[in-house]
């Protein structure tokens, strides 16, 4: 590919700004158009969630663009899940039996700002704010924008257009509405929505509860989680059904009822959140949806990346990591020096889609696991065994969570298939009394490995994988 090609990127969020930086480093002429104002100059929300989980797949992308040190300063390590029961008692469940494996809480806005600044250091990268994409003509490779300041519409063209404009992507909408090719598309909502709340910093500026954990209050049909911020606060998220159960978003309509709900279900949070009722009625309730589609590209003209191609629910903490990994995968395809953008886009989608489909499904699995199973005895036994195996055999065993989160050199699909088979093997052997968490670890490793391989082999013979 000629390096002086003009690439137009729609959206300067996390994926778009990382992509702009990487393509800038590779020498392309990159123009980025973002509908929001520059978040480095205006105090605005950078998107829906204030902080995000950042782990190895995201980190690999950040290393690729040489920003590891800068980004590390924004990270708060979370070594495990701190589970809070109804009485307010807590138990810490580590993410891995390997000490060096943990995830991080990172502020979306600051990370986005760093990426924008780094991208703009390249004179071949230009970022334009307050320019909203109205539609994409994917036959002509042009975009219609509206300038939010002048209120004028204008058209830009480019050699290729890459849309990193998120779950509500204008390009994806153009694909769907144009009806010019067979476009497979799905949007699936959970019955639950979410609302952000907050634990403010202590008066001394410290953290009111344990800093280095992802806090979870699992309650079966709903849950509360909290991630730490650099300023001593925590961003808290309530995941709750819109209309099922005794308490739901549709019937929590008065301060009394909200307080009653938290008093009954999350009593230890009332002291941490004196601001609960204000937050609850000020902040919006938002839906949780999964978007999949195919194809991601139209010929060699346009391509969807990040959430625009594969929006997922947040329960695996992989949304940003998956979008960053898109950039790594795309970069690897660029390294192959294919002879057309169409070949590049086609190869990228073929390599990548199986993995983003997998993380979408894994994220939904984890919704059920987090709100329910973490409190289930057989799942706790499984977790205990897996922690011990990871500690004793760091090279030979990884749980599904570790495969997904800490093994950036295997794809999400492989992590899903192996991880699900392992889970099935362990749960069934525990249930049948064939293993117990007090067994010798060498024997456990062998039994679990053998049973996992047998499950994978059986599924293969039956044509299921």
Q: Would you tell me which residues interact with its own copies (CB under 8 A)?
A: 182-189, 242, 287, 289, 368, 373, 420, 423-424, 427-428, 431, 458-459, 461-464
In the complex with its own copies, the residue whose CB is nearer, 275 or 428, is: 428
Sequence-ordered list of residues with C-beta below 8 angstroms from that of 408, at least 6 positions apart, any chain: 56, 57, 59, 60, 325
Structure tokens at 55: 């782990």
| Nearest CB to its own copies, comparing residues 7 and 362 | 362
Q: Which two tokens stand for residue 170?
A: 């204008």
Nearer to its own copies, 359 or 451 (CB): 451
DSSP tag of 150:
T
| In the complex, least distance from residue 356 CB atom to its own copies, rounded to whole angstroms | 16
**If we measure between CA atoms, which residue out of 77, 72, 366 comes closest to residue 218?**
366
Of the candidates 233, 234, 216, which has an alpha carbon nearest to the alpha carbon of residue 225? Answer: 216
Q: Identify the CA nearest to 316 among candidates 263, 359, 256.
A: 359
Q: Which is nearer to its own copies, 215 or 420 (CB)?
A: 420
Nearer to its own copies, 89 or 462 (CB): 462
Specify the residue, 122 or 413, whose C-beta has the smaller distance to its own copies. 413
The CB-of-218 to its own copies minimum distance in angstroms stands at: 15
Q: Work out how close the CB of 461 gets to its own copies at its nearest, in angstroms, rounded to a whole number.
A: 5
Nearest CB to its own copies, comparing residues 97 and 295: 295
Query: 90 or 376: whose CB is closer to its own copies?
Result: 376
Q: From the CB of 176, what's the least distance to its own copies, in Å?
A: 9
Q: In what order do the strands lie in the sheet with 160-163?
A: 125-128, 29-33, 6-10, 160-163, 302-304, 297-298
Neighbour tally for 363: CB within 10 Å: 22
What DSSP letter does each residue of 264-303 carry, written as one string? HH-HHHHHH-TTHHHHHHHSPEEEEEEEEEE-SEETTTEE
Residue closer to its own copies, measured from CB, 90 or 285: 285
Q: Which is nearer to its own copies, 75 or 427 (CB)?
A: 427
CB of 286 to its own copies, least distance (A): 11
Maximum distance among all Cα pairs of the chain, rounded to whole angstroms: 71
CB count within 10 Å of CB 18 equals: 32
We find the least distance from the C-beta atom of residue 34 to its own copies, in angstroms, to be 24
Which residues does 246 contact at the CB level (< 8 Å), separation at least 6?
A: none
Provide the minimum distance between the beta carbon of 88 and its own copies in the complex, in angstroms, as a whole number: 28
How near is the Cβ of 40 to its own copies at its closest, in Å? 32
Q: Which is nearer to its own copies, 178 or 334 (CB)?
A: 178
Do 147 and 46 meet the contact criterion of CB atoms below 8 Å apart?
no
Distance CA 159, CA 156 (A): 11
H or E element, residue 105: strand 103-107
247 burial (CB, 10 Å; 0-12 / 13-18 / 19+) is buried
Measured CA to CA, the distance from residue 292 to residue 287 in angstroms comes to 16
Burial code of 267-298, b = ≥16 C-beta within 10 A, e = fewer? ebbeebbeebbebbeeeeeeebebbbbbbbbb
Rounded least distance, CB 455 to its own copies, Å: 8
CB 211 within 8 A of CB 79: no
Minimum CB–partner distance for residue 297 and its own copies (Å): 14
Shortest separation between residue 425's beta carbon and its own copies, angstroms: 9
Contact call for residues 144 and 173 (beta carbons, < 8 A): no
Structure tokens at 269: 């949070």
Q: How far is the CB of 322 from its own copies (least distance, A)?
A: 20
Half-sphere exposure of 9 (CA within 13 A, CB side): 32
**Closer residue to its own copies in complex, CB, 54/222:** 222
């Amino acid at each position: 590919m000629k390096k002086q090609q003009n690439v137009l990127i729609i959206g300067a969020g996390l994926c778009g700004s990382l992509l702009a930086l990487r393509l800038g480093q590779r020498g392309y002429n990159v123009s980025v158009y973002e509908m929001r104002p520059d978040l480095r100059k205006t105090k605005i929300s950078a998107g829906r969630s204030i902080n995000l989980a950042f782990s190895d797949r995201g980190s690999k992308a950040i290393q690729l663009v040489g920003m590891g040190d800068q980004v590390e300063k924004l990270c708060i390590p979370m070594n495990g899940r701190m589970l809070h029961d109804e009485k307010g008692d807590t138990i810490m469940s580590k993410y891995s039996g390997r000490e060096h494996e943990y995830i991080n809480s990172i502020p979306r806005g600051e990370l986005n700002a760093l990426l924008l600044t780094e991208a703009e250091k390249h004179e071949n990268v230009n970022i334009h704010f307050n320019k909203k994409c109205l539609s994409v003509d994917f036959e002509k490779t042009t975009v219609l924008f509206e300038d939010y300041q002048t209120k004028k519409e204008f058209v830009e063209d480019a050699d290729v257009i890459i849309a990193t404009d998120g779950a509500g992507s204008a390009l994806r909408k153009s694909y769907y509405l144009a009806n010019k090719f067979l476009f497979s598309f799905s949007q699936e909502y959970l019955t639950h929505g979410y609302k952000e709340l907050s634990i403010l910093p202590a008066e001394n500026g410290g953290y009111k509860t344990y800093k280095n954990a992802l806090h979870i209050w699992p309650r079966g049909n709903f849950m509360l989680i909290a991630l730490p911020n650099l300023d001593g606060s925590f961003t808290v998220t309530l995941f709750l059904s819109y209309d099922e159960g005794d308490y739901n978003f549709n019937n929590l309509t008065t301060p009394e009822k909200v307080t009653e709900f938290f008093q009954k279900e999350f009593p230890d949070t009332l002291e941490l959140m004196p601001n609960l009722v204000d937050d609850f009625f000020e902040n919006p309730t938002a839906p949780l949806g999964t978007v999949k589609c195919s194809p991601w590209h139209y010929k060699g003209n346009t391509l969807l990346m990040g959430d625009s191609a594969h929006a997922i629910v947040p329960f695996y903490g992989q949304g940003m990591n998956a979008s960053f990994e898109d950039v790594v995968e795309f970069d690897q395809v660029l390294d192959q020096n294919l002879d057309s953008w169409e070949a590049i886009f086609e190869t990228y989608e073929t390599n990548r889609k199986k993995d983003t489909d997998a993380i979408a499904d894994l994220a939904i699995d984890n919704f059920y696991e987090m709100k329910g199973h973490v409190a289930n005895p057989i799942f706790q036994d499984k977790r205990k065994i897996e922690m011990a195996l990871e500690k004793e055999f760091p090279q030979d065993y990884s749980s599904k969570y570790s495969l997904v989160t800490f093994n950036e050199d295997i794809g999400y699909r492989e992590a899903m298939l192996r991880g699900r088979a392992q889970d099935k093997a362990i749960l069934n052997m525990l249930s049948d009394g064939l293993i117990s968490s007090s067994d010798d670890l060498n024997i456990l490793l062998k039994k679990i490995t053998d049973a996992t391989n047998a499950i994978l082999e059986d599924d293969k013979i039956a044509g299921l994988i």
